[in-house]
Amino acid sequence: MVGGAVGAVPVTPAPQWQIATVAQNTVVLSASLTTFLLAPASSTASSSAISSSTLSSSTVSSSIQIATGLLPKVTLLAQKTVDKPKSTPKKATQTAQPKPIATAAPITVTAQSFLDATTLSLKEQPDGPYEVVLTTNAGAGKNTVWGLDAATLGGSSSLPPFSVSFLCDPPPIMPAPDMSDQNPIFSVRTSYHCTITLTPLSGNDERPRSRTFSFATGPGQFIITRSLAMNTLLTNNKNTGGFVFKNQDANTITVTALNLAISYTALNVNGANGPFVLRFLDPVTEAPLADYPLENLPANPSLSYTQNADDITIPLSFAVAPGTQKMLPLVVLGVNRMQMSGIDPKITITIHKLTTDQSDARIMLNAAQITWHCVVPVGAYDPNATSGPFATGEACQ
């Protein structure tokens, strides 16, 4: 617009301005703005700088040329576009869902599957024969152990109920009805064939199922103990005793040698009672089987007045029939006790092992030791004593 008063032009100037004189009466004002307010110019205006108080800032970039006598000519420059960095869209976070736990299908136990998972073993009894032990693998490291004395099995959530019966050839020995252990007894060195039958007591199929087990029992025991019917009080001259040999095997067992440990304390080996000797006698005729001299046993450096040897072999021979027992008598001759207070005379004979004609004989040494001893009393004999060796009968006589 030219001539007359001109209204104010709204301008929004940038926060910073730069003013420079390009030519006479021409001023270039550059700034970054979008809108601004510019006061009217006087025709007599000089090329002096425009007061910054007449402008307000914005974001549009402009160039203003002011000439004398004219309104400002404003040329708007193109706005610079600043590209903002594109943000990468975030992926939605997914919460992992727990995988379902596989549940094993329940296993149905039948009479046949129970028998198929069963193994048979033998347990030897203290008196010689055997019992049958049945073990069924129930899975997951669990076993069901049962015997032929069971009338029924099962009845739980994991094992249905079954009745139990069996038939063996040859038949086992059945215990007396009043005995607490009703397990059948199987003889030694015998072959058996036993058919075990389980009959379901519930379910849709109650037909019995069977399985036959074939097995052979092992040899019986050959048990050696000391005789309980012997006097263990050590006396001068002669002391008698014996070992009992019990044959629970099915074969006759012949003993051919004994291995012994022998020791004695506070005995005079060169006494007036003759040779100091250990003698074994025939179990039937009581004729001498073997003699072993005792006076030359080496001294024990750890025990006063004690002599001993731990590996003495005595060759001899006697037989024990199946299912019988026999006592091997022995006698210690020429005993002469020392009378020293505080040191009691004693003789001990122990069977360590023995040799037989049965290589598979199951030898059981059960307290196979004999000891004769007496206590040297302090003071005179007192027949009315209520305590001490006179009262117990252990006083050396």
Q: Is the separation of the CB atoms in 195 and 322 below 8 Å?
A: no
Least confident range of 183-187, 280-284, 305-309, 385-389: 385-389
Which residues neighbour 131 within 8 Å (Cβ) at sequence distance 6 or greater?
122, 123, 125, 147, 183, 184, 185, 186
The DSSP H or E segment spanning 316 is strand 306-320
Chain mean pLDDT for the chain: 81
The DSSP H or E segment spanning 362 is strand 362-365
Domain locations in the chain as residue ranges: 17-76, 111-216, 222-379
- Of 46, 36, 41, nearest to 1 by C-alpha is 41
Running DSSP on this structure, what letter comes out for residue 53?
G
Instruction: Give the mean pLDDT of 71-99.
Output: 57
Q: Is the separation of the CB atoms in 205 and 175 below 8 Å?
A: no
Band of residue 361 on the pLDDT scale cut at 50, 70, 90 = confident
Q: Is the separation of the CB atoms in 264 and 338 below 8 Å?
A: no
The DSSP H or E segment spanning 165 is strand 162-169
Q: How many whole angstroms separate alpha carbon 337 and alpha carbon 373?
A: 10
Pairing state between β 277-281 and 369-373: unpaired
What's the full length of the chain, in residues? 397
* Alpha helix (H) residue ranges in the chain: 111-116, 389-392
Retrieve residue 266's tokens: 């506070």
Q: Is the separation of the CB atoms in 162 and 201 below 8 Å?
A: yes
Instruction: Give the mean pLDDT of 34-63.
Output: 43
Q: Is the pLDDT of residue 38 over 80?
A: no
Running DSSP on this structure, what letter comes out for residue 185?
B
pTM attached to this predicted model: 0.66
- pLDDT value of residue 142: 83
Fold annotation for 222-379: Immunoglobulin-like (2.60.40)
pLDDT in tens, 366-391: 989 999 999 988 877 777 777 878 88
Q: Is the pLDDT of residue 45 over 90?
A: no
The beta strands (E) that lie in 9-139 are given as 17-23, 26-32, 61-66, 73-76, 118-124, 130-139
CA dist 347 → 6, 278, 312 (Å): 149, 11, 15
The DSSP H or E segment spanning 333 is strand 325-335
- pLDDT value of residue 55: 40
Least confident range of 37-41, 90-94, 253-257, 341-345: 37-41
Q: Is the pLDDT of residue 83 over 70?
A: no
Half-sphere exposure of 267 (CA within 13 A, CB side): 33
Which amino acid belongs to residue 315? Answer: P
- Of 144, 122, 125, 142, nearest to 133 by C-alpha is 122
Q: How many whole angstroms separate alpha carbon 193 and alpha carbon 305?
A: 62
| Token pair 């198929």: residue | 116
Burial class, 271, CB count within 10 angstroms (exposed 0-12 / middle 13-18 / buried 19+) = middle
Instruction: Give the mean pLDDT of 312-324.
Output: 96
- Of 356, 285, 281, nearest to 319 by C-alpha is 356
Please list, residue by residue across 189-211, b when 16 or more beta carbons sit within 10 angstroms of its beta carbon and e when fewer do. Answer: eeebebebbbbbeeeeeeeebeb
Retrieve residue 146's tokens: 């049962």
- Of 307, 377, 299, nearest to 339 by C-alpha is 377
